[in-house]
Chain A
Amino acid sequence: MIRIAAVGDVHVDKDVVGRYRPALEQLPDRADALLVAGDLTRHGTPEEARCFAEEFGGLAVPVVVVLGNHDHQSDQQERVTEVLTDAGITVLECSTTVLEIRGHRLGIAGAKGFGGGFAGACASNFGEREMKDFVGTTESISARLGEALRSVECDALVALTHYSPVPETLVGEPLEIYPFLGCYQLGNAVDSAPTALALHGHAHHGSERGRTPGGVPVRNVAHPVIKQAYNVYQLLTDSVDAELVPA
Chain B
Amino acid sequence: MTHQIDLEAEIQRLLTEHERIAEQGITVHRRENVVVLGGEVESAQRRDEICRQVTGHFPDIEITCDIGITRAQAPSEVEEIS
Q: Chain A residues in contact with chain B, CB under 8 A? A: 3, 9-12, 15-16, 19-20, 22-23, 26-27, 30, 42-43, 70, 73, 196-197, 204-205, 217, 223-224, 227-235, 237, 242, 244-246
Given contacts A11-B42, A234-B79, contact A27 B74 (CB under 8 A): yes
Task: Tell me the B56-77 residues at the A interface (CB within 8 Å).
Answer: 70-75, 77
A30 touches B75 (CB 8 A): yes
Contact B70 A237 (CB under 8 A): no
Residues of B within 8 A of A237 (CB): 80, 82
The reply on B6 being an interface residue by CB < 8 A is no
A15-B43, A204-B40, A224-B70 known; A234 and B75 CB under 8 Å? no
Cα-based distance from A12 to B75 in the complex (angstroms): 20
B contact residues vs A (CB 8 Å cutoff)? 19, 22, 24-25, 27, 39-40, 42-43, 45-46, 70-75, 77-82
Q: Contact check, B74 vs A10: say whether CB atoms are below 8 A apart.
A: no
Secondary structure of the B contact surface, majority rule:
loop
For residue A112, give the distance in angstroms from its CB to the closest CB of chain B: 15
Mostly helix, strand, loop or mixed at chain A's interface? Answer: loop
CA distance A197 to B80 in the complex (A): 11
Q: Are B75 and A19 in contact (CB under 8 A)?
A: no
Measured between beta carbons, the chain A residues less than 8 angstroms from B79 are: 231-234, 245
Q: How many whole Å from B68's CB to the nearest CB in chain A?
A: 9
A residues near B24, Cβ cutoff 8 Å: 204
| B25 pairs with A224, CB closer than 8 A | yes
Name the residue of chain A whose CB is nearest to the CB of B71: A227
A227 interface neighbour in B43, B70, B81, Cβ under 8 Å: B70
Q: Which residues of A contact B25 (CB under 8 A)?
A: 9, 204-205, 224
Expressed in whole angstroms, the minimum distance between the Cβ of A27 and any Cβ of chain B is: 7
Query: CA separation between A227 and B76, bound complex, in Å?
Result: 12
Instruction: Indicate which residue in A10, A22, A231, A242 contacts B80 across the interface (CB closer than 8 Å).
Output: A242
